[in-house]
């Protein structure tokens, strides 16, 4: 069963398609729960094999949002159901199949054809806080996207992510598209424009297209689709792998190597700014405070109140590159 979409509906897709319905997440804001209450329909996960043939009716290439009435990759969904759906995507390369789940770690268990877009939900609550990082861990050339709908709280992609879950920020780096939307339940207060402002600025900094849904009632109309899958990442692969494998403390140790190396001084230039590292003294870079005293004791601290956290993240990456060169 294909349902045509457009303005006032799910406007980032052409059709919804539900060969598998139902969900066990139990989210309070779920629009399908409203439908189930209205039409006496329960949310028990179900497989509808006859609907696998529905895609045959489409005569032109289309974007198809798969299982909008459930979560295809919920832990409760049998593998054979998922394989049946992925087979349809395989034999219809002219269409784009858009998947969206709150359980992105299960993407790692399956292979996807290039016409599959892999998405996850981030609503600003703790239950979805690790989803972007999990999706970012999926290798391949598929479009990856994050749906921030409904946006229930301010989402900080850097400060909270980098200091407490730095892989979250790495996951953002791997996203090809952000969708921003609001809770569409009746009577719910509109989220502040400032929340969207921040997300849009983060996306712009990473060159990530953004789609703001009409239900957010944002002051600007932003409807950008993702580009073809980007090659490479916003970090070099080597540096990204270092960050994924090592905690922040190891990165700090790399910075410390600058002071322990045989270099009397080391200068690093970043655009209009020049940072000079010496074997003795103090360095302050975007909130990163590094000190070595005359007894050789090194102290490193991060000051959240100074500088942009986004710049700090980039600085740590750059400094790790400098440190690697310093000890050669």
Architecture of domain 2-233: Alpha-Beta Barrel (3.20)
Mean pLDDT (whole number) for 78-107: 97
Q: For residue range 68-79, list pLDDT tens digits in order.
A: 999 999 999 999
pLDDT band, residue 130 (cuts 50/70/90)? confident
253 DSSP assignment: H
Contact 214, 11 (CB under 8 A): yes
N-term to C-term CA, the chain: 62
Q: For residue range 305-317, list pLDDT tens digits in order.
A: 434 434 443 444 3
Parse the chain into domains and list their residue ranges: 2-233, 238-326
Q: What local confidence, expressed as pLDDT, does residue 32 receive? A: 62
The number of CA neighbours under 13 Å toward the Cβ of 61 is 5
pLDDT over 90 for what percent of the chain? 47
Question: Does the pLDDT value for residue 64 go beyond 70?
Answer: yes
Cα separation, 104 vs 254, whole angstroms: 32
Q: What local confidence, expressed as pLDDT, does residue 205 receive? A: 87
**3-state DSSP call for residue 216?**
helix
**Any residues with CB less than 8 A from the CB of 198 and at least 6 apart, and which?**
154, 155, 156
Mean pLDDT (whole number) for 73-98: 97
Cα separation, 256 vs 86, whole angstroms: 49
pLDDT band, residue 174 (cuts 50/70/90)? confident
Q: For residue range 232-249, list pLDDT tens digits in order.
A: 444 444 445 444 444 444
Q: What local confidence, expressed as pLDDT, does residue 117 receive? A: 98
Cα separation, 163 vs 251, whole angstroms: 12
Task: Count CB-CB contacts under 10 A for residue 231.
Answer: 6
52 DSSP assignment: G
């Amino acid at each position: 069963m294909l349902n045509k979409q457009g303005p006032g509906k799910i406007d980032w897709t052409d059709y919804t398609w539900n060969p598998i319905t139902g969900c066990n997440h139990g989210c309070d804001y779920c629009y399908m729960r409203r439908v189930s209450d209205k039409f006496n329909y329960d949310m028990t996960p179900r497989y509808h094999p006859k609907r696998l043939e529905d895609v045959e009716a489409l005569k032109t290439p289309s974007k198809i949002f798969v299982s909008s009435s459930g979560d295809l990759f919920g832990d409760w969904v049998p593998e054979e159901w998922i394989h049946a759906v992925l087979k349809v995507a395989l034999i219809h390369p002219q269409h784009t199949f858009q998947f969206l789940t709150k359980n992105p770690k299960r993407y790692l268990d399956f292979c996807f054809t290039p016409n599959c877009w892999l998405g996850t939900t981030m609503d600003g609550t703790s239950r979805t806080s690790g989803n972007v990082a999990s999706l970012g861990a999926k290798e391949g050339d598929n479009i990856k996207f994050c749906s921030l709908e409904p946006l229930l709280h301010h989402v900080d992609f850097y400060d909270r992510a980098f200091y407490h879950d730095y892989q979250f920020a790495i996951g953002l780096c791997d996203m090809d598209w952000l969708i921003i939307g609001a809770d569409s339940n009746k009577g719910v207060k509109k989220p502040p424009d400032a929340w969207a402002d921040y997300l849009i600025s983060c996306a712009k900094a990473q060159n990530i297209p953004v789609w703001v849904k009409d239900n957010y009632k944002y002051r600007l109309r932003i409807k950008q689709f993702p580009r073809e899958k980007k090659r490479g990442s916003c970090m070099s692969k080597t540096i990204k792998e270092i960050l994924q494998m090592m905690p922040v403390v190891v990165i700090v140790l790399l910075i410390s190597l600058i002071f322990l190396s045989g270099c009397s001084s080391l200068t690093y230039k970043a655009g209009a700014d020049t940072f000079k590292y010496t074997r003795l003294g103090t360095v302050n870079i975007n909130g990163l405070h590094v000190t070595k005293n005359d007894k050789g004791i090194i102290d490193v601290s991060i000051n959240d109140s100074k500088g942009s956290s986004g710049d700090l993240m980039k600085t740590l990456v750059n400094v790790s590159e400098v440190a690697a060169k310093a000890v050669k």
